Amino acid sequence: MKKAELMDYDKALELFEPVLGFEVHVELNTKTKMFCGCANEFGQGANTNTCPTCLGLPGGLPQVNAKAIESSIRLGLALGCEIAEYSRFARKNYFYPDTAKNFQTSQYDEPIAFNGQLTIELESGRLVTVDIERAHMEDDAGKLTHVGGATGRIQGADYSLVDYNRGGVPLVEIVTQMIEGGEADSPEIGRTYVAAIREIVKGLGVSNARMEEGNVRCDANVSLRPRGSNILGTRTETKNVNSLRSVERAVRYEIQRQAALLAAGGTITQETRHWHEDTGITSAGRPKSDADDYRYFPEPDLVPVAPSREWVEELRATLPEPPAARRKRLQANWGFANLEFQDVVNSDLLDAVEATIAAGSAAQAARKWWTGEVARLANVAGVAADSLVHPVQVAALIELVVAGTLTDRLARQVLEGVIAGEGTPLEVVELRGLAVVSDDGALIAAIDEALAAQPDVLAKIRDGKVQAAGAVIGAVMKAMRGQADAARVRELVLERAGTAE
Amino acid sequence: MTNLIKLSAADLSGLLADRSVSSVEVTRAHLDHIAAIDTDVHAFLHVARDAALATAARIDARRAAGDVLGPLAGVPIAIKDVLATQDMPSTAGSKILEGWIPPYDATVVRRVRDAGLIPLGKTNMDEFAMGSSTEFSAYGPTHNPWDLDRIPGGSGGGSAAAVSSFEAPLALGSDTGGSIRQPAAVTGSVGVKPTYGGVSRYGSIALASSLDQVGPVTRTVYDAALLHDVIGGHDPLDSTSLTDSWPSMAAAARAGLADGALKGVRVGVIKELAGEGFQPGVKQRFEETLALLAKAGAEIVQVSAPNFEYAIAAYYLILPAEASSNLARFDSVRFGIRVNPAEGPLTSERVMAATRDAGFGPEVKRRIILGTYALSAGYYDAYYGSAQKVRTLIQRDFDAAFAQVDVLVSPSAPTTAFKFGEKMTDPMAMYLNDVTTIPANLAGVPGMSLPMGLAPEDGLPVGLQIMAPAKLDARLYTFGAAVERLLEATWGHTLLSQAPELAPTEMFASEEGVV
Ligand SMILES: [Zn+2]
């Protein structure tokens, strides 16, 4: 549907009540895969991290990764879930080339975690409690690359390549109950909910939590209920919405699209839909019905998972402070204004700033460097800021500025050197010879030379026209290639002028 | 010189240990015999002559160097084609895997190699172990050494025929519903299905995951015990593998050879499997064996297992259900043959369908369809769900029976070896042949088949099945060895010594004379 054909958002809400649901897939950052000993990492060359089990070779058998169970339980607990005393894996049977066994090993009626709750805070201050139906474990599929054709999609491709490095990577799928009463806030609820999940898994350390790398993937279910009706509308499932902003946009788009269709007397097809980041619209995927028959049955190759209550309580004790509480505490401790703090949070730099402060920097300096120069360089490089430089190095840089060894301008050059791998800030200062020249002897020599070259200036200073010193200071700074503290140069100029013959 | 191929693995072990004979000699003797008779028997799908001789030479060298070797080091072994071997094709008897050489060894194969055994080759089987006759092998049937016009049992007919025709002293089999025990019965050999979880399934091409178990196929109970000790024990690569530590099965079998080993043993005869409706000769030999046992001091106790009558029905829901999912991976994407559809577009779905259509045989297709249906929404509870309940009831029947007796016995199969083609067109008749063996798989308990005579009406071998409580495989070996000793003492010979000599098939015109 073209944007112009969408129903006005306010009008849509006047006629319909949006009902939401989210399925968020979290890729766990275990060392090895869910059911075999292969490394859980990509980028080593296609199909290098594979074995008979994750390639689905005849005779391959799964073994459960204990760390993945632990991570799933901790995630379940952080979502306020109950942890099953007896939980089983199940086979979800369907043929697709990215699924090596032609079934996904998932969980069906006996998930590891269920009945949770997560309260999120919208920008208006409104609190919304999202009920979590379940969090279950499963293995990821391989990655298909469609070659040839115009779209990069399977339709029209000449052939497709499959890389099973991702096949068998552990996932936790978090499924919400229906979210009603979101009203006009519905799109923001989507974004804030996914942000909250991301923050929780990051805080737990169970996932790398980078949406842009697919560590956290969201499927958004949207349906509309006509005002005054108690019958649920047909829902669509928009798959793989992979940024927070896109979650918000996709929900909003679906509300407007479905409202326009329904108001025109049309019906909603139950289907999956694809989100297009570039055009900001969704398009029809494959029809989906509740009658899709995956022929689930308990995985006979795996014994049930029965976590002892003692272990669950031990894991509960390892849970970090909930992210919302932590944010409140940090903002108060650091004394940041709301906008300053939001800037840090939205840039995903809370951990980095906290670590920098812990390494001895002042809060404002830490914030300024991370959200300023580091973020700028990261943006240029197209990577996450906290992957660019270690907080300890930023703290060391700030310390050099505070000590007067570096000016801000020099410090920015040093930062580039650190990022380029030239060493610690101190080593870069040495290597590039970037320190402020604090040797008065060298400065005095330069000043005397400048004064001698500009006798009229000397006269003016002696006449009390102190602003004339600017010309000499400029010349000295130029001679020192900027590596001098201008204030100290000024002091020395006045001193030399006063004591000169 | 001793005919090396007629010796048991235990006897070969002794000769090899004191260096009266080399592994190369033993291996060559078996390979030569295979070359001579296997055109007729067709027990092997692949014979690794050069590799076997090279391995044997290595073992001889290690022995000469004074290395400490296990008891079966240097003894040849045949491997059922359901097991992954990284140096030999592993087809599971299916065309869909024709020529496929896995990049890895099954755990049991690795253990066999580590113990110094000499793999001779891969043995024939019904496709994906679905069948009781090897007639469903995509590579042609194996022939029973007792009568080449008859089936050797299945699915492991190749392994059973290999040991009973003296092509190998030992073989590996797999047993999902009787695929080790029924072929042992109809070929006059010994086969053991261990406790579920007692032997690793990693690398065994799965038929039905919750039923499959790898086990030994041999000519004597003691040889089976020696091989069991090599392949058994926990494997972290198989999640269903038991972590228990196991006693030596060989020691358990030796204990059965002591005088009076049968005295006071409570032997349960399962009323439902006591021979009603079985071939008369089978029933007769079973009753004679019970009488012998009683005379030797065993206490014969009649027990009932009322739910066994539902075993076949439950089995033929659970097996196809699991198999339909296990066999989904055969899709031409990563391994095996690939067949493009004759016409129309080449989508992955259509290539998968064409490959599966061409690569799977009729029995495999039948069971995939059955299993897919049984797992379908709306039918799951009625079929798969009910079958699982029956399974629980059968386990309870075993529990109740083992509360009264030490071991349970029955004929291993209702009939002796039938003729080729006799049951091919009637799947139900074929399925009923496993009525005796299936309950042990459903309950996960260990079972053994050993020869208990020849049926008077056809002169073909009849097997005795022994079952023990789960994890008590050792009891099976103690009792089995005692029964074997008792029967052979009564006969005055081993059963297999009565098998007809198979003539070499090679004919040389010059020797025959030219007209
Ligand atoms: Zn793997």
Higher pLDDT, A25 or A457: A25
Buried b (16+ CB within 10 A) or exposed e, B204-227: bbbbbbbbbbbbbbbbbbbbbbbb
Model pLDDT, residue B515: 53
CA distance B5 to B169: 7
User: Mutate which of A295, A302, A303 to test chain B, going by most B C-beta atoms within 10 A?
Assistant: A295
Model pLDDT, residue A500: 46
pLDDT tens track for B346-356 = 888 999 999 99
pLDDT tens track for A211-248 = 988 999 999 999 999 999 989 999 999 998 989 999 99
Name the residue facing A61 among B239, B325, B375 (closest C-beta): B239
Domain A440-500: CATH class, spelled out:
mainly alpha
A93 touches chain B (CB under 8 A): yes
Model pLDDT, residue A439: 73
Q: Give yes or no for residue A450 having a pLDDT over 90.
A: no
pLDDT level of residue A289 (50, 70, 90 thresholds): low
In a domain, B358, yes or no: no
Name the residue facing A95 among B209, B331, B375 (closest C-beta): B331
Structure token pair of residue B354: 């064409």
Higher pLDDT, A469 or B107: B107
Task: Give chain A's mean pLDDT.
Answer: 91
Name the residue facing B334 among A55, A103, A301 (closest C-beta): A55
Mean pLDDT of A65-82: 98
Mean pLDDT of A479-497: 80
Nearest chain B residue to A63 by CA: give it.
B239
Task: Give the closest-approach CA distance of B112 to chain A in angstroms.
Answer: 17
Q: Give yes or no for residue A82 having a pLDDT over 70.
A: yes
Model pLDDT, residue A440: 77
Residues 98-137 of A with CB under 8 A from B: 100-103
The percentage of residues in chain B with a pLDDT greater than 70, rounded to a whole number, is 97
- For B89, counting Cβ atoms within 10 Å of its Cβ (0-12 exposed, 13-18 middle, 19+ buried), the class is middle
Catalytic residue among B13, B94, B155, B412: B155
Q: Which parts of B152-210 are beta strand (E)?
A: 170-174, 190-193
Model pLDDT, residue B509: 45
Place of tokens 């391995």: B55
In a domain, B318, yes or no: no
Mean pLDDT of B48-55: 98
Q: Give yes or no for residue B204 having a pLDDT over 80.
A: yes
Higher pLDDT, B476 or A475: B476
Tell me the domain boundaries of chain A: 9-44+64-91+112-139+170-294, 321-432, 440-500
The percentage of residues in chain A with a pLDDT greater than 90, rounded to a whole number, is 66
In a domain, B323, yes or no: no
From the CA of A52, how far away is ligand 1's center (Å)? 6
Q: Give yes or no for residue A435 having a pLDDT over 80.
A: no
Instruction: Give the CATH number of the domain where residue B304 resides.
Output: 3.90.1300.10
Contact call for A162 and B333, based on CB within 8 A: yes
Task: Give chain B's mean pLDDT.
Answer: 95
Pick the closest to residue A472 from A495, A449, A488 (CA basis). A449
What's at A339, amino acid-wise?
Answer: L
Catalytic residue among B179, B200, B332, B412: B179
Q: Give yes or no for residue A498 having a pLDDT over 70.
A: yes
User: Mutate which of A144, A301, A303 to test chain B, going by most B C-beta atoms within 10 A?
Assistant: A301
User: Mutate which of B94, B104, B234, B329 to test chain A, going by most A C-beta atoms within 10 A?
Assistant: B329
Name the residue facing A56 among B203, B236, B334 (closest C-beta): B334
Angle at B276 between CA B274 and CA B279, to 5 degrees: 100
Contact call for A301 and B206, based on CB within 8 A: yes
How far is the CA of B281 from the CAs of B87, B88, B267, B432, in angstroms? 44, 41, 21, 18
In a domain, B375, yes or no: no
Instruction: Name the helix (H) or strand (E) containing A172.
Output: strand A170-176
Mean pLDDT of A250-257: 97
Rg (CA), chain A: 30
Contact call for A59 and B106, based on CB within 8 A: yes
Range of weakest confidence among A76-85, A492-501, B127-136, B329-338 = A492-501
Q: Give yes or no for residue B507 having a pLDDT over 50.
A: no
pLDDT tens track for A392-421 = 999 999 998 888 788 888 899 899 999 999
Q: Give yes or no for residue A13 having a pLDDT over 60.
A: yes
Domain count, chain B: 1
Mean pLDDT of A300-322: 96
Model pLDDT, residue B160: 98
pLDDT level of residue A292 (50, 70, 90 thresholds): confident
Beta bridge pairs of residue A484 = A437
In a domain, B343, yes or no: no
Distance of CA B56 to the CA centre of its chain: 25
Task: Give the closest-approach CA distance of B37 to chain A in angstroms.
Answer: 31
Q: Give yes or no for residue B1 having a pLDDT over 80.
A: no
Contact call for A57 and B202, based on CB within 8 A: no
pLDDT level of residue A454 (50, 70, 90 thresholds): confident
B179 among known catalytic residues: yes
Name the residue facing A62 among B239, B324, B331 (closest C-beta): B239
The percentage of residues in chain B with a pLDDT greater than 90, rounded to a whole number, is 92
Pick the closest to residue B105 from A134, B117, B95, B93 (CA basis). B117
Mean pLDDT of B456-476: 98
Count interface pairs A-B at CB distance under 8 A: 107
Residues of B with Cβ-Cβ distance to A56 under 8 angstroms: 329, 334
Higher pLDDT, A324 or B131: B131
Q: What is the DSSP string of B50-114?
A: HHHHHHHHHHHHHHHTT----TTTT-EEEEETTB--TTS---TT-GGGTT---SS--HHHHHHHH
pLDDT level of residue A152 (50, 70, 90 thresholds): low
Residue pair B289/B254 in contact (Cβ under 8 Å)? The answer is no
Q: Beta strand B118-123 with B76-80: parallel, antiparallel or unpaired?
A: parallel
In a domain, B321, yes or no: no
Pick the closest to residue B228 from B212, B210, B207, B252 (CA basis). B252
Q: Which of A325-329, A493-497, B113-117 has the highest mean pLDDT?
A: B113-117
Range of weakest confidence among A1-5, B183-187, B247-251, B414-418 = A1-5
Q: Give yes or no for residue A63 having a pLDDT over 70.
A: yes
* Secondary structure of residue B403 in the 3-state scheme: coil
pLDDT tens track for B293-303 = 999 999 999 99
Structure token pair of residue B392: 């629980």
From the CA of A37, how far away is ligand 1's center (Å)? 6
Contact call for A59 and B84, based on CB within 8 A: yes
pLDDT level of residue A499 (50, 70, 90 thresholds): low
Domain extent at residue B31: 4-308+392-498
In a domain, B370, yes or no: no
Mean pLDDT of B460-475: 98
B80 among known catalytic residues: yes
In a domain, B8, yes or no: yes
Catalytic residue among B8, B13, B22, B80: B80
Range of weakest confidence among A366-380, B86-100, B135-149 = A366-380
Residues of B with Cβ-Cβ distance to A303 under 8 angstroms: 239-240
* Secondary structure of residue A64 in the 3-state scheme: coil
pTM of the model: 0.86
How far is the CA of A170 from the CAs of A34, A36, A77, B128, in angstroms? 5, 10, 18, 30
Q: Give yes or no for residue B429 having a pLDDT over 80.
A: no
